[in-house]
């Protein structure tokens, strides 16, 4: 069983027809999205000219029985703190929202499907990277 945690950049690549990302999504048995990713997407939709179309596309995507929105809880927060502390000590920060996404992936043992290379700085997180 293949499950993936979908990053914002992965969703955007999928919606823009990125062949490799689309293949990974189609092959996956399950796709997890976090509230952080939903927030980033909806923020982008509000700033764009295709808000209604993008919202409908996201609603359709989330309506798939293979897609699940995973909650952020106390365990996620603990993993966030671990990752943020590590990255700060290493001098290799990444965006705060991406730390939350990485923390969720770590918590649930899921690889992150992303086009962002900075997730590679996070130890103990598997990446499905398709630049």
Structural domain tally of the chain? 1
One DSSP character per residue, 28-56 reads -SEEEE-HHHHHHHHHHHHHSS-HHHHHH
Predicted confidence (pLDDT) per residue in 118-128, tens digit? 999 998 899 98
- pTM confidence score: 0.94
**Residue whose C-alpha is closest to residue 3's, from 89, 92, 105, 88:** 105
Q: Which domain holds residue 113?
A: 3-129
Q: What is the pLDDT of residue 130?
A: 65
Give pLDDT tens digits for 4-31: 999 999 999 999 999 999 999 999 999 9
**Which domain CATH number covers 56?**
3.40.50.1010
């Amino acid at each position: 069983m293949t499950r993936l945690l979908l990053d914002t950049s992965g969703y955007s690549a999928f919606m823009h027809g990125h062949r490799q990302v689309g293949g990974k999504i189609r092959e996956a048995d399950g796709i997890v999205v976090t509230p952080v990713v939903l927030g980033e997407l909806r923020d982008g939709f509000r700033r764009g000219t295709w808000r209604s179309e993008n919202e409908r596309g996201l609603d359709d995507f989330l309506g798939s029985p293979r897609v699940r929105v995973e909650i952020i809880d106390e365990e996620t927060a603990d993993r966030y703190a671990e990752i943020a502390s590590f990255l700060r000590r290493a001098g290799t920060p990444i965006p705060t929202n991406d730390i939350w996404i990485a923390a969720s992936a770590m918590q649930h043992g899921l690889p992150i499907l992303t086009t962002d290379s900075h997730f590679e700085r996070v130890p103990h997180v598997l990446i499905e990277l398709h630049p």
